[in-house]
Structure 1
Amino acid sequence: MTTELRPLRPGDWDEWYGNLELAFGGVAEAPEERALWRELTEPERSLAAWDGDRMVGSAGAFSFRIAVPGGALVPAAGVTMVGVLPTHRRRGILRALMRRQLADVRALGEPLAVLTASEPEIYGRFGYGIATQELSAEIDTDRVRLSVSEGTDAVRLRMVRPAESAEALAACEAVYAARVAARPGMLARAAGWERLTVLDPPTEREGTSPLQWVLAESEDGKLLGYARYAVRPDWDMAGPKGTVILRDMEALDPVAYAALWRFLFEIDLTSTVKVRSCPVDAPWQHMVSDIRRCRTRVRDALHVRLVDVGAALRARTYAAPVDVVLDVRDPFCPWNEGRWRLTGDAERAACLRTDPGEPADLRLSVRELGAAYLGGVTLTALAGAGRVAELRPGALAEASAAFRSDAAPWLPHGF
């Protein structure tokens, strides 16, 4: 049987998304969630694989801008909705979808493709490297104390009533937008994406309350930050032991940040704060009295793929001066193969092809470049794993220092 790939026709969306649900186990999503994804889908960037008259696979992309070291917002394809029906596995359909998609991304002039993986081992063979991690935690607030900044008491906290939610959502998005450039990996949210952060289908609450919001404001009413969370009540013979589940938080300064954390720690009838995702360098870790009782865990998050090596490396800046020739391997996207001279510092960067005869300083694949691109994974660590080869003494230390980011990269939500 032959498989044909073609862009999604709007009238085929229900079948396309239904196939995706089937590929991920067959559990239908809540109507509210399904409706939002339908609205956000870009049909012209969504591919369907057909076996005759039957749709058997899918892959989509969102048009994103992602923060990179230096603060620039770089166009990136947010790869999503990837799935193949169980009847058509191991026939090369996924590889064909990935190859076509990356060619399309290149044609659009986007230097990066990014994704979150259902299984981390899948996408390395297509050139994606794990570039960010996320920290989760379960904090025992009965036994862990919180140290807050001077001035925290001056911050006003206000709960959002349902009638205020539209106005509050717009205000919170302004706070989020102000934070994006400061942390690599964060996405500049286009119109409509803010609704993902407050999506709260009753069927998916798993015993928690509806989503609750608290705003942190200055004495003159300026919004300084927000937290969105739910509470899962619980009791035993000793009394209440509910859990506060933090969905997301942003703050413009340390005082507002501390006020929001203190609020979460002190919610009545609870003894645990559960953090689903935050940066691995989240400041709250330096505010708690006992990090061991916070039960932290780290896992992979954003996978990054350089679609255009030169454009991608020019788009960011570098923490230290760098001048290296990279011998890049990329058999899946052969237009990236070859030697590239990268020069840059904290202000600007250049990356151009060099003569094949010019000596290379480092040899690595595009997967390693993707892992190191946002500054959270060092080239030194990758070299220790045998995935980067130093060809000129000193080049590894120079490049590794340059690629670092002061703020740990982080993806605030999936897609």
Structure 2
Amino acid sequence: MTTELRVPPASEWDAWFTCVELAFGGVPTAPESREMYDALARPDRAIGHWDGSAWVGTAGAHAFRMSVPGGAAVPAAGVTMVGVAATHRRQGLLRSMMRRQLEDVRAWGEPLAVLTASEPSIYGRFGYGAATGELNLRIDSSRVGLSLPPGTEEVRIRYASPAGALDACEAVYARLAAGRPGTPLRQPGWERLPVNDPEGGRAGGSPLQCVLAERDGEVTGYATFHVRPSWDGPRPQGTVAVRDLAALDPASYAALWRFLFGIDLTSVVECRNRPVDDAVLRLVSDVRRCEVRVWDGLYVRLVDLPAALEARRYRAPVDVVLEVEDGFCPWNAGRWRLTADEKGAASCRRSEDPADLSVSVRELGAAYLGGVSLTTLAAAGLVGEHRPGAVAQASLAFSWDVEPWCPHGF
């Protein structure tokens, strides 16, 4: 069976999108979500396989700017809407789309490609490494208390309309984004994502609710959430499902959690996709009553290896020659000398010197944001050391003060 790999014309966008929906189970997208996705999509950055009568494969790429260690906002292709029709599996369609897409990303001048995976086993063979984790919590708020830092009582919490408070929430998001590697900086239109609230996505909960934290008249944090009422006979056992929570200082952060723990007629606070170093785990009185799960989060692919490695900062000086394996993007393969000075500024150039480390581009992607240790990868046999001490030196340089995190999907 032959298919044609091409960019979908505007007249076929609906058919292309229908192929995406079928690949993810065939459930139609809610109209308000579909309108938002259509507005955010870049059809000129989409590709797919056409079999002569229907789209049977799809892959898209948003144009992001993502925070990396040191605070720079680096152009990154946000890979999305990847799917292959069940009738056309195991025919090489996904591989051909991934190869074409990475060639396009390189041509667009974007040194990184990033994605969140529906299945973690898919994308490693294309050079994507799991670079961030996401913390998922289910807390028994009826039996778990919070240790509150000084100043918490000075924070005012007030309800606000999610749409009406959007500018204030986005201002907080913007101030925090540069300090957390892996966070996409908002591009025009993406501010709609946090307040998109289709009824089918509430899991039986309330419409999206929002509270703001304020100190001295300034908004210093926010939380958005749904409440799912539930009763066990006469006992209320509702759940607070946290969607977003961010704060500029510890007192505002703690005040928001205290509010969520104290909502009437609830006994559970649950949240998905928090950073793995979330400070709430240090505030709770009994972590054993907090069901904690860590999943894979953002996958990172170095498309232009030297540009990507030079774009971030490093925690310590380093001088190391990397022997990089990259069978999917051969322009990255070979030896590269990475050096960084005392300020963390880096240079990455081709080298003929003997390799200090051998590593695949997938493992470099995993370590790129500072959340995955090269030492750990070496212990798993995924990084080879050819000069004693090279792993430790490089691992320290690649590490960062905070865990990387991508706060939302795309």
2:375 aligns with 380
**Alpha-carbon shift at residue 238 of structure 1 (Å):** 4.5
Corresponding residue SS for 2:400: coil
CA distance, structure 2, for counterparts of residue 325 and residue 351 of structure 1: 9
1:29 aligns with 2:26: no
**374, 378, 386: which one pairs with 1:391?**
386
1:296 aligns with 292
CA contact (8 A) 1:183 1:410 kept: yes
1:93 aligns with 93
Corresponding residue SS for 2:148: coil
Residue type matched to 1:22 in 2? L
1:210 aligns with 2:217: no
1:241 aligns with 2:237: yes
**Alpha-carbon shift at residue 206 of structure 1 (Å):** 1.8
1:232 aligns with 2:228: yes
Residue type matched to 1:230 in 2? H
Residue type matched to 2:175 in 1? A
**Alpha-carbon shift at residue 277 of structure 1 (Å):** 1.4
1:14 aligns with 2:14: yes
2:43 aligns with 43
**Alpha-carbon shift at residue 383 of structure 1 (Å):** 0.7
2:132 aligns with 132
Q: Counterparts of 1:249-328 in structure 2 under 5 Å?
A: 249-328=245-324
1:335 aligns with 2:331: yes
Corresponding residue SS for 2:324: strand
1:112 aligns with 2:102: no
CA distance, structure 2, for counterparts of residue 55 and residue 190 of structure 1: 29
Corresponding residue SS for 1:392: coil
2:53 aligns with 53
1:158 aligns with 158
Residue type matched to 1:80 in 2? T
CA distance, structure 1, for counterparts of residue 179 and residue 160 of structure 2: 27
Corresponding residue SS for 1:295: strand
**Mean Cα deviation higher: 3-12 or 259-268:** 3-12
CA contact (8 A) 1:132 1:301 kept: yes
**Alpha-carbon shift at residue 321 of structure 1 (Å):** 0.9
Cα distance per residue 1:322-368 (max 9 Å; x no partner): 1000000001000001000000144311111112xx10000010000
1:194 aligns with 191
CA contact (8 A) 1:156 1:217 kept: yes
Q: Counterparts of 1:347-366 in structure 2 under 5 Å?
A: 347-355=344-352, 358-366=353-361
Residue type matched to 1:18 in 2? T
2:171 aligns with 174
CA distance, structure 1, for counterparts of residue 294 and residue 200 of structure 2: 28
TM-score (norm 2): 0.98
**Alpha-carbon shift at residue 4 of structure 1 (Å):** 1.2
Task: Number of aligned residue pairs: give it.
Answer: 409
**Alpha-carbon shift at residue 276 of structure 1 (Å):** 1.1
CA distance, structure 2, for counterparts of residue 341 and residue 203 of structure 1: 51
CA contact (8 A) 1:13 1:38 kept: no
Residue type matched to 1:232 in 2? R
**Alpha-carbon shift at residue 209 of structure 1 (Å):** 0.5
CA distance, structure 2, for counterparts of residue 382 and residue 150 of structure 1: 40
Cα distance per residue 1:69-106 (max 9 Å; x no partner): 11111000000000010000011110000000000000
**Alpha-carbon shift at residue 412 of structure 1 (Å):** 0.2
CA contact (8 A) 2:317 2:344 kept: no
TM-score (norm 1): 0.97
Residue type matched to 1:396 in 2? V
Residue type matched to 2:178 in 1? A
**Alpha-carbon shift at residue 42 of structure 1 (Å):** 0.2
CA distance, structure 1, for counterparts of residue 276 and residue 405 of structure 2: 8
CA contact (8 A) 2:15 2:54 kept: no
**Mean Cα deviation higher: 338-347 or 252-261:** 338-347
Gaps of 5+ in 2: none
**Alpha-carbon shift at residue 236 of structure 1 (Å):** 1.1
CA distance, structure 2, for counterparts of residue 206 and residue 347 of structure 1: 46
CA distance, structure 2, for counterparts of residue 166 and residue 20 of structure 1: 29
Gaps of 5+ in 1: none
The two structures, once aligned, show a CA RMSD in angstroms of 0.9
**Mean Cα deviation higher: 338-347 or 175-184:** 338-347
Residue type matched to 1:10 in 2? A
**Alpha-carbon shift at residue 167 of structure 1 (Å):** 3.9
CA contact (8 A) 2:148 2:254 kept: yes
CA distance, structure 1, for counterparts of residue 25 and residue 299 of structure 2: 23
CA distance, structure 1, for counterparts of residue 10 and residue 248 of structure 2: 40
CA contact (8 A) 1:224 1:256 kept: yes
**Alpha-carbon shift at residue 166 of structure 1 (Å):** 3.9
Residue type matched to 1:158 in 2? R
**Alpha-carbon shift at residue 2 of structure 1 (Å):** 2.0
**Mean Cα deviation higher: 199-208 or 294-303:** 199-208
1:407 aligns with 402
Corresponding residue SS for 1:408: coil
CA distance, structure 1, for counterparts of residue 357 and residue 344 of structure 2: 23
1:367 aligns with 2:362: yes
CA distance, structure 2, for counterparts of residue 32 and residue 406 of structure 1: 39
